[in-house]
Amino acid sequence: MELNSRIPDGPIEKKWERHKFESKLVNPANKRKYRVIMVGSGLAGGAGAASLAELGYNVDCFCYQDSPRRAHSIAAQGGINAAKNYRNDGDSVYRLFYDTVKGGDFRAREANVYRLAEVSADIIDQCVANGVPFAREYGGLLDNRSFGGAQVSRTFYARGQTGQQLLIGAYQALERQVGLGTVKMHSRHEMLELIVVDGVAKGIITRDMVTGEIESHLADAVIIATGGYGNVFYLSTNAMGCNGTAVWRAHKKGAAFGNPCFTQIHPTCIPVTGDHQSKLTLMSESLRNDGRVWVPKKKEDCKKNPNDIKEEDRDYYLERKYPSFGNLAPRDISSRAAKQVCDEGRGVGETGLGVYLDFSDAIRRLGKAKIEEKYGNLFEMYERITDENPYETPMRIYPAVHYTMGGLWVDYNLMSTIPGLFVAGEANFSDHGANRLGASALMQGLADGYFVLPATVSNYLAGLKPGMRPAADHPAVKDTVSAVKARMEKLLSIKGTKSPTHFHRELGKIMWEYCGMARNEAGLKKGLELIPKLREEFWKDVRVLGENESLNQSLEMAARVADYLELAELMCLDALQRRESCGGHFREEFQTEDGEALRDDENFCHVAVWEYQGEGQVPVRHIESLSFENVHLATRSYK
Amino acid sequence: MSHKSMNLTLHVWRQKNAKCDGKFVEYKADGVSPDMSFLEMLDVVNEGLIGKGEEPIEFDHDCREGICGTCSMVINGRPHGPKERTTTCQLHMRSFKDGDSITLEPWRAEAFPVVRDLVVDRTAFDRIIAAGGFITAPAGTPQDANALPIPKENADLSMDAAACIGCGACVAACPNASAMLFVSAKISHLGLLPQGQPERYLRVRDMVAQMDAEEFGTCTNHGECEAACPKGIKMENIARMNRDFIKASLTCRPTTTGGGAG
């Protein structure tokens, strides 16, 4: 497999400008002759579908939800980064670029990250033009807050609902195009397969989730923007329906997978309460602006009422270990630190898997009203779930799976190793390296959707003759439809004894135990032993009731779990072969004396790019070497 | 926090599809923990049904954080259940007590046909937004965000309205199945911002026309919508929409909205 990242020549500040100029354009009158498929309607998908339609292309947009407005981007709370330097605190495009490369522990591609930082300021302008009601100061100008991994205030926000407001902005732009007839929206449709004709992506197969109909949709280009695959772990902060099927199916059709083991465990989530738990709820990282993280110094204090524990008996471990970043240390580092204190037996709450996030100092300093204005809705959400009042008792939090930095490998144009297949947002591997900084996912989704795809997809289409889509009765299309139908029938015909959720939960336990916050060789090997066994059991004993020809959530779930059972194995394999610690990937064998991640730049300064080899075959690990010409490789320190 | 488990009786609306008739079916939910969310309780009931070979209860849900607006069920006659400003997914079983009977129904409205069991079709809301619930600003390089100062008060009021999650509880709660709280929230969100002014009157005219075409009822000031809204959207938005609508009907010339693609 040939990997060409297609990074434009020239100095990093000029690459994107030059690339856009050198890209081919499509004559306005010809644009309507092309059809583009967008799978997903979140920030990358919604903004991308709207923007491509604004240019004049015909777009078919698909989402599994009942409306594109419900994509999980909506749940992002804290904010979106942009290098506006409105605070006069020394921010710049270069600094955002630098922070993101460093935050990603030097495992991202410099050119992509620079472009992300470069378009970040345009994103804020675009969102305001679309009517996003960002927080403002009394003078009428935009307000900012700080986020982890940065020493400047560059995060724009809309209360604790930034993702919601950005998504609604993109959704409105999308619906405008639906009204104009340039976008055809297919809600409650799930992509189950990619159509590849002569090595080129030409369409997708979907299941209409209401009627069960298996349909083929053909296009000149296909874009996957279906988010991450964190739900492999069963418990995560993802929505229940988020899944890895689109990326996994594309992978099996030839799209290489980049860094599948890079998973972000978010430090501030509400701890698990019992076996019934179906998902985990995030408490925004922005809370660490004012909240202080601590655990008792002594194990015997752990069950006490936290308000009775004296100041000198508290260990504000982030402030102690990382004095310059303190409570705003990046996510991977904060999560690991929480795990360490809990492993030492100093965790709090019933399960001992929790640490305090305490606002009492901030309330004393700023007053309750100010805290309520900043975080009121988050405090309410916390109280609803836990029945505890965080104004009076410190919150209890624990890390949880939140985001996957890994994803389908793409070049600078966001095109995968299958020509004509583009991948945007969390679904691709490209910008965050081994650890994503807070408020950067929204930035990447919108950068890809509003600015990158319109340029790069146009360049691709300009090289195609219009109207060359395969016919619906092309053998490759018919064969793919039959294969999908057969898979659905197979799932319904097993009539075993255990529900799809049972297998999903079991897989989640294996992944959290052996491929979670800390990994080691023996554990990963164990995981690689257990997953195929579970997969075998699944295909013998899963019970899916009902039929294909109606709304059937068990069938939907079964098809997704079947794919998780394969993807999970690749994640473990990737984690096993990356014999270093970096960002969210922490291998216990590779750590410094004080427990920090120990990178191995000599052997692993690369993207691991996996190529599928067929059912039952070991996939091949290729590498894309990373070179750091601007931000020099250094040990990441937040001390 | 109480740790006593509860035994409950559920009366759940089961309906195969939009064409079939539906009926209530009784299920037992035993050993329910007060720390479970309402939907987790249903997950457990469904696992039990699958175990017995019965088809599980279909219900819409996704983020389970109270923000996506997917979950939709009428619990004991109230959309999203008994707790104020709380979506079904954020409702916890500690709001119920041992021995309770709970009735579960889908949103009931002509404009929201039942898809199956507790799942309804809310695409009418998308069509209303497509008719005018946007600001025409194609992706590109608009002016700097700070070139347009917006008084904090206006931005905050706009944000209050923009907090709508489009769940449809307002419609389900209204005796007329009116969508005016939903529509007016969008009118306010965009109409309170300077960017939203150029299309302000066209927007209200076209959105209201679409709302009527979808056969939502009209508002007769019951106020059930505001009481049921999990996000606290206020009826004052309806007053604002009515003012704009009157002005629009007197001043707007017959044109179409939108600037055309490209």
Query: CA B128, CA B111: separation in Å to the nearest integer?
Result: 12
Residue A568 scores a pLDDT above 50: yes
Strands (E), A502-619: 606-611
| φ, ψ (nearest 5 deg) of residue B102 | -125, 130
The answer to whether residue B33 is domain-embedded is yes
Residues B70 and B23 in one domain: yes
B46-89 tens-digit pLDDT: 999 999 999 999 999 999 999 999 999 999 999 999 999 999 99
Structure ipTM: 0.96
Query: CA A438, CA A281: separation in Å to the nearest integer?
Result: 16
Residue A304 scores a pLDDT above 60: yes
User: Region A239-265: what's the mean pLDDT?
Assistant: 98
Query: CA B74, CA B78: separation in Å to the nearest integer?
Result: 5
Contact A550 B66 (CB under 8 A): no
Residue A109 scores a pLDDT above 60: yes
Query: CA A564, CA A507: separation in Å to the nearest integer?
Result: 8
pLDDT band, very low/low/confident/very high, at A374 (cuts 50, 70, 90): confident
Q: Decide: helix, strand or coil at residue A330.
A: coil
Two structure tokens written together for A630: 């601007």
Residues B107 and B166 in one domain: no
Q: Decide: helix, strand or coil at residue B41.
A: helix
Contacts of B19 (CB under 8 A, 6+ apart): none
Q: Which residues of A touch B116 (CB under 8 A)?
A: 550-551
Whether residue B152 contacts residue A131, with contact meaning beta carbons closer than 8 Å, is answered with: no
Contact B126 A68 (CB under 8 A): yes
Residue A384 scores a pLDDT above 70: yes
User: Region A300-306: what's the mean pLDDT?
Assistant: 95
Average pLDDT, chain A: 96
- Which of A136, A185, A451 shows the shortest C-beta gap to B150? A136
If one looks up domain A479-622 in CATH, what number appears? 1.20.58.100
Contacts of A108 (CB under 8 A, 6+ apart): A100, A101, A430, A431, A432, A433, A434, A626
Other C-beta atoms closer than 10 Å to the C-beta of B216 total 25
Residues B145 and B81 in one domain: no
pLDDT band, very low/low/confident/very high, at A253 (cuts 50, 70, 90): very high
Q: Which residues of A touch B83 (CB under 8 A)?
A: 384
pLDDT band, very low/low/confident/very high, at B253 (cuts 50, 70, 90): confident
Residues B62 and B159 in one domain: no
Query: CA A271, CA A235: separation in Å to the nearest integer?
Result: 11
pLDDT band, very low/low/confident/very high, at A411 (cuts 50, 70, 90): very high
Residues B137 and B225 in one domain: yes
Residue B1 scores a pLDDT above 80: no
> How close are the terminal C-alpha atoms of chain A, in Å?
41
Please report where in the chains the tokens 């919108």 appear, as a residue: A446
Residue A432 scores a pLDDT above 80: yes
Please report where in the chains the tokens 């195929």 appear, as a residue: A532
User: Region B198-226: what's the mean pLDDT?
Assistant: 97
- Which of B86, B126, B143 shows the shortest C-beta gap to A125? B143
Residue B259 scores a pLDDT above 60: no
In chain A, count of helices (H) and strands (E)? 18, 19
Residue B138 scores a pLDDT above 70: yes
CA distances from B145 to A59, A82, A129, A267, A314 (A): 29, 11, 8, 32, 43
CA distances from B152 to A141, B158, B193, B234 (A): 8, 10, 11, 19
A16-64 tens-digit pLDDT: 999 999 999 999 999 999 999 999 999 999 999 999 999 999 999 999 9
Two structure tokens written together for B108: 């009931």
CA-closest candidate to residue A159, choices A76, A241, A233? A76
Q: Which residues pair with B120 in a beta bridge?
A: B114
Residues B71 and B19 in one domain: yes
CA-closest candidate to residue A226, choices A428, A475, A461? A428
Using DSSP bridges, classify how beta strands A214-218 and A200-208 pair: parallel, antiparallel or unpaired: antiparallel
Amino acid at A181: G
Helix axes B200-213, B236-251, angle to 10 degrees: 100
Helix axes A553-577, A521-541, angle to 10 degrees: 160
Whether residue A449 contacts residue A225, with contact meaning beta carbons closer than 8 Å, is answered with: yes
Amino acid at A64: Y
Contact A554 B56 (CB under 8 A): yes
What's residue A307's pLDDT? 95
Residues B169 and B111 in one domain: no
Residues B14 and B39 in one domain: yes
Contact A137 B152 (CB under 8 A): yes
What's residue B257's pLDDT? 53
The answer to whether residue B1 is domain-embedded is no
A451-477 tens-digit pLDDT: 999 999 999 999 999 888 999 999 999
Two structure tokens written together for A355: 């640490």
What's residue B199's pLDDT? 97
Q: Give the domain range for residue B103.
A: 6-116
The answer to whether residue B261 is domain-embedded is no
Single pTM value for the model: 0.97
Residue A481 scores a pLDDT above 90: yes
Provide the greatest CA pair distance for chain B: 64
| φ, ψ (nearest 5 deg) of residue A203 | 165, -175
Residue B2 scores a pLDDT above 70: no
A185-214 tens-digit pLDDT: 999 999 999 999 999 999 999 999 999 999
Query: CA A162, CA B32: separation in Å to the nearest integer?
Result: 35
CATH number at residue B128: 1.10.1060.10
CA-closest candidate to residue A166, choices A80, A283, A62? A80
Whether residue A222 contacts residue A37, with contact meaning beta carbons closer than 8 Å, is answered with: yes
CATH number at residue B42: 3.10.20.30
Q: Which residue has the higher pLDDT, A393 or B254?
A: A393
What's residue A275's pLDDT? 87
The answer to whether residue B147 is domain-embedded is yes
Alpha-helical (H) ranges within A23-155 are 28-31, 43-55, 93-103, 110-129
Whether chain A has a CB inside 8 Å of the CB on B66: the answer is yes
Residues B89 and B170 in one domain: no
Residues B37 and B107 in one domain: yes
Q: Where are the domains of chain A?
A: 265-401, 479-622
- Which of B67, B90, B132 shows the shortest C-beta gap to A164? B67
Which residue of chain A is at minimal alpha-carbon distance from B159? A133
Query: CA B237, CA B240: separation in Å to the nearest integer?
Result: 5
What's residue A286's pLDDT? 86
Two structure tokens written together for A12: 């990093």
Query: CA B147, CA B145: separation in Å to the nearest integer?
Result: 6
Overall domain count for chain B: 2
Whether residue A32 lies in the annotated active site? no
Query: CA A260, CA B219: separation in Å to the nearest integer?
Result: 52
Q: 3-state SS of chain A: helix, strand, coil percent to 5?
A: 40, 15, 40
What's residue A284's pLDDT? 87
What's residue B252's pLDDT? 83
User: Region A273-282: what's the mean pLDDT?
Assistant: 91
pLDDT band, very low/low/confident/very high, at A259 (cuts 50, 70, 90): very high
Q: Which residue, of B116, B136, B161, is where some domain finishes?
A: B116
A504-514 tens-digit pLDDT: 999 999 999 99
Q: Which of A331, A336, A346, A636 is catalytic?
A: A331
Whether chain A has a CB inside 8 Å of the CB on B61: the answer is yes
Q: Decide: helix, strand or coil at residue A223.
A: strand
Residue B256 scores a pLDDT above 70: no
What's residue A285's pLDDT? 85
| Architecture of the A265-401 domain | Alpha-Beta Complex (3.90)
Query: CA A84, CA A96: separation in Å to the nearest integer?
Result: 10
Whether residue A613 contacts residue A620, with contact meaning beta carbons closer than 8 Å, is answered with: yes
CA distance A434 to chain B (A): 25
